[in-house]
Structure 1
Amino acid sequence: MRRLLPVAACLSGVVALGACSNDSGRPPAAVAPSVKASSTKGSSASPSSQVATGTTVTVAASGDILIHGPVRRNAAAFAKQNGKAGYDFDPMFAPVKAALSKADVTICQQETPISANDANLEHTGLVYNAPREIATAEKKAGFDGCSFASNHTWDMQLAGVQQTPTTLKKAGLKVAGATPTASGAGEPATYQVGEVKVAQFAYAYSVINKAGPSPEVPSSAPWLADASWPAEGVKGILAEAKKAKEDGADIVVISMHWGKEYQQAPTSDQTTYAKQLLASPYVDAIYGAHAHVIQPCSTLNGKYVFYGMGNFLSNQGQGQASILTDANADGVIPTVTFTRTATGWSQSATYQPTHVDIPARHIIHTTSPTQNPTAYSRVVKAMDSLGNCQAKPAG
């Protein structure tokens, strides 16, 4: 997180298949530099008239972090190579640390549970448990918090739901989404950036890995309904966002785990929710994940929705399974700049394409017209595939 800086001059006026992939990143067998941002004209209502006109705050996010077996084994190899115990994910994040550290708030999508003691990590099929070292690596890489709401939230059942937020918080990260107990359920992660308060909520299409959007939650953890958008519905999400604004949040962003796996086009659920949420004065931006490919950006009511940010770290890519291509290794870091105006908050946005180099032990790189131009061009094309994304690419 960088420090918030006020602008010197005042301004006058921002559905899915049930399984991600197996431990190697394969789908289930049944599934054969500085850039001038483009500014939107819309603004978002805010209760904080105390924030000075011209103040800016930036909020960024990344795609799925999914620690498949090969990713974990490379982290173990890096640890051994660097004289460390356990797992070392730092080399994988090193090339993108600068990109992640630019924004005031940067949010990760923690796709899977995290073990607090690195136990029970080996699983077959579509069940995951990541080493605790991933949390410290995410913090060191420049993340300030994470979304923990996905179809894999219940992979380790209640133990995973308890250990994951605890491990992330121990590493210094804030957490939105699933909570260890009913206490705190439905409440956002909050970030104080100077005089600006940012609230983040996170919701999944299913917390128990159903084949499509489902409000069903475990009987032993009924509070997980607060991390499910089918359970909450638009009305429930807006009620929580409204309360966050009433409690002092200047900006409310939503992390949505949604969409159809490996499909670039947003589903009707995605577009319907985006339109209704962004029509409200209580939701200011949406960052989407789950499809494992880049889905487009759209500008609605002067606000941004990034339907799908691809894979930030995983084993999905060319050669890992017949259905997978190099596009599954693409990711994006979108950054929305919120600027306080006389009437609310205006928005502008940029995005940084990324790519996982799987053969090079899962190192994540930024891409540009000169560095992996094929991946860069693929991301740029996908981001504006709906024709109304005003965000501009970096690089």
Structure 2
Amino acid sequence: MAMTAVTGALALATGACSSGSGNSEAEGDTGPTKPAAPATSAPPKQAPAAKQPIVIAFGGDTHFEGYLRSRLAKPATALGPIAKTLRAADLAMVNLETAITTGGTPAPGKEFTFRAPASAFAALRAAGVDVTSMANNHGMDFMDSGLRDSLKAIRRTGFPTVGIGKNAAEAYRAHQVTVKGNRLAIIGATQVLDDHLIEAWTATETKGGLASAKDVPRMVKAVRAARQGNDYVIVHLHWGEELKACPLPRQQDLAKQLIAAGADVVVGGHAHVPLGGGYLKGKYVHYGLGNFVFSSAAGKTASSGVLQLKLQDGKVSAAKWKPARISSGLPMPLSGAAATAEVKRWNALRSCTGLTAAP
């Protein structure tokens, strides 16, 4: 990873330095004037780092349920061979689809609830993941106590996490980072929440929770704020319909509004199968990354991969899909004829998106 000058929604670092001096003279009735102290000056400011092309990698839905939990005992190898692909990028991101807690009360009325210990962050970091979103329909599976545990774990580990916070300001706030001279702002939010949990899970000005993409004006405001002073704005969304390989109208509408507000990249997942990606008015949209580290993946939900985007000269200049197949819960990179066939299938998914293959 080649990252510097990190600031985050939940972990901020500040520093200041100053230097200066003054000349002084003291005149006495019987003695000579003291010589002036030599002047000193602040060191010259360093020029901003030149902006170099960077590659950002995105993986899909990730949890550590069932038999995957035991992999956290060895964080360095928890994500398996896909880590090599993630580490090769200048910045990598996944969707962490679980509450970070070992206690709490499961959310009422949910068939599936996911949780993992804080060592999940160590596993992501070891695999080369630099930032994650917890804004999804499992981020508060263990309700308010699980939320408190998750926020404590984020603060304690310092792992950059978006889409969740002690209030709306924190949940919608962008994680900001400079990578090879490029200033990035990354926002996370979910368009998918169980109807009976929307109020309890959505962050407000006075209550903790998740950033909701259902509140489109709030999302537009967040993107516009992130646009100020940054070279690229990336929005990570939990959206779509499970097992549906084409985007919903509400996904397409939201993507258009966020791009109009200043987003350069809009990506996300939820459907458990890959969807198509491409360009919209020169910006990049990907409607579904599929499963990534997921214990129940099988059949068509085992199709996986890493989306690589090249950012250069203020634009997304290239996009590449590195296909994988989930085996025993882990995405295993494909090669040869199998990889070629999967890339061809992935490109065909673009046909129902309204997106183009080139800017």
TM-score, scaled relative to structure 2: 0.76
**1:112 to 1:150, Cα distance in 2 relative to 1, 3 A:** same
The C-alpha deviation readout for 1:205-237, integer Å capped at 9, x for no partner, is 245x338xx853458966457600112x1x322
SS at match of 1:352: strand
Instruction: Output the CA distance in 2 between the equivalents of 1:63 and 1:346.
Output: 20
The C-alpha deviation readout for 1:293-323, integer Å capped at 9, x for no partner, is 00110210111111000000112333xxxxx
- Tell whether the 8 Å contact from 1:330 to 1:379 is kept in structure 2 after alignment: no
SS at match of 1:308: coil
Matched, 1:210 2:195: yes
Matched, 1:152 2:138: yes
Instruction: Output the CA distance in 1 between the equivalents of 2:183 and 2:130.
Output: 14
- Tell whether the 8 Å contact from 2:165 to 2:203 is kept in structure 1 after alignment: no
SS at match of 1:349: strand
Q: Which amino acid aligns with 2:349?
A: A
Q: Which has the higher contact order (CA 8 A, sep 6+)?
A: 1
Aligned residue in 2 for 1:102: 88
- Tell whether the 8 Å contact from 1:62 to 1:334 is kept in structure 2 after alignment: yes
**1:224 to 1:349, Cα distance in 2 relative to 1, 3 A:** farther
Aligned residue in 2 for 1:363: 330
Instruction: Output the CA distance in 2 between the equivalents of 1:135 and 1:54.
Output: 29
- Tell whether the 8 Å contact from 1:151 to 1:210 is kept in structure 2 after alignment: no
The C-alpha deviation readout for 1:79-111, integer Å capped at 9, x for no partner, is xxxxxxx73354442301121012222111011
- Tell whether the 8 Å contact from 2:59 to 2:307 is kept in structure 1 after alignment: yes
Aligned residue in 2 for 1:238: 220
1:350 to 311, 320, 331: 320
The C-alpha deviation readout for 1:221-259, integer Å capped at 9, x for no partner, is 66457600112x1x322221111222x222110001010
1:57 to 54, 59, 64: 54
Query: How many positions carry a matched residue from both structures?
Result: 314
Give the stretch that moved more between structures: 284-293 or 179-188: 179-188
Give the stretch that moved more between structures: 257-266 or 158-167: 158-167
Aligned residue in 1 for 2:11: none
Instruction: Output the CA distance in 2 between the equivalents of 1:290 and 1:219.
Output: 18
SS at match of 1:309: coil
Aligned residue in 2 for 1:306: 286
- Tell whether the 8 Å contact from 2:203 to 2:211 is kept in structure 1 after alignment: no
- Tell whether the 8 Å contact from 1:206 to 1:216 is kept in structure 2 after alignment: no
Q: Quote how far apart the aligned CAs of 1:194 are.
A: 3.5
- Tell whether the 8 Å contact from 2:292 to 2:330 is kept in structure 1 after alignment: no
Instruction: Output the CA distance in 2 between the equivalents of 1:374 and 1:269.
Output: 30
Q: Quote how far apart the aligned CAs of 1:171 are.
A: 3.8
Identity %: 24
Instruction: Output the CA distance in 1 between the equivalents of 2:316 and 2:111.
Output: 45
Aligned residue in 2 for 1:293: 273
Aligned residue in 2 for 1:327: 300
Instruction: Output the CA distance in 1 between the equivalents of 2:277 and 2:202.
Output: 36
Q: Quote how far apart the aligned CAs of 1:347 are.
A: 2.9
Q: Which amino acid aligns with 1:366?
A: P
Q: Which amino acid aligns with 2:195?
A: K
Aligned residue in 2 for 1:87: 73
**1:195 to 1:166, Cα distance in 2 relative to 1, 3 A:** farther
Instruction: Output the CA distance in 2 between the equivalents of 1:102 and 1:257.
Output: 25
**1:249 to 1:272, Cα distance in 2 relative to 1, 3 A:** same
Q: Which amino acid aligns with 2:84?
A: A
Aligned residue in 1 for 2:111: 125
1:278 to 229, 254, 259: 259
Q: Which amino acid aligns with 1:71?
A: L
Aligned residue in 2 for 1:34: none
Q: Quote how far apart the aligned CAs of 1:267 are.
A: 0.4
Q: Quote how far apart the aligned CAs of 1:57 are.
A: 2.7
Instruction: Output the CA distance in 1 between the equivalents of 2:264 and 2:346.
Output: 24
Aligned residue in 1 for 2:213: 229
Instruction: Output the CA distance in 2 between the equivalents of 1:385 and 1:51.
Output: 42
- Tell whether the 8 Å contact from 2:3 to 2:178 is kept in structure 1 after alignment: no
Which has the larger Rg? 2
- Tell whether the 8 Å contact from 1:2 to 1:101 is kept in structure 2 after alignment: no
**1:172 to 1:364, Cα distance in 2 relative to 1, 3 A:** farther
Q: Quote how far apart the aligned CAs of 1:51 are.
A: 7.0
Instruction: Output the CA distance in 2 between the equivalents of 1:283 and 1:243.
Output: 11
- Tell whether the 8 Å contact from 2:2 to 2:180 is kept in structure 1 after alignment: no
Instruction: Output the CA distance in 2 between the equivalents of 1:61 and 1:69.
Output: 24
Q: Quote how far apart the aligned CAs of 1:288 are.
A: 1.1
Instruction: Output the CA distance in 2 between the equivalents of 1:347 and 1:51.
Output: 23
Instruction: Output the CA distance in 1 between the equivalents of 2:202 and 2:293.
Output: 32
For structure 1, the residue ranges without an aligned partner over 5 or more in a row are 5-49, 79-85, 319-325
Instruction: Output the CA distance in 2 between the equivalents of 1:176 and 1:110.
Output: 10
SS at match of 2:255: helix
**1:363 to 1:152, Cα distance in 2 relative to 1, 3 A:** closer
- Tell whether the 8 Å contact from 2:307 to 2:320 is kept in structure 1 after alignment: yes
Instruction: Output the CA distance in 2 between the equivalents of 1:122 and 1:227.
Output: 20
Aligned residue in 2 for 1:2: 2
SS at match of 2:288: strand
Instruction: Output the CA distance in 2 between the equivalents of 1:351 and 1:170.
Output: 34
Instruction: Output the CA distance in 2 between the equivalents of 1:377 and 1:120.
Output: 44
2:242 to 257, 261, 266: 261
Q: Quote how far apart the aligned CAs of 1:371 are.
A: 5.4
Instruction: Output the CA distance in 1 between the equivalents of 2:155 and 2:335.
Output: 33
Instruction: Output the CA distance in 2 between the equivalents of 1:63 and 1:149.
Output: 13
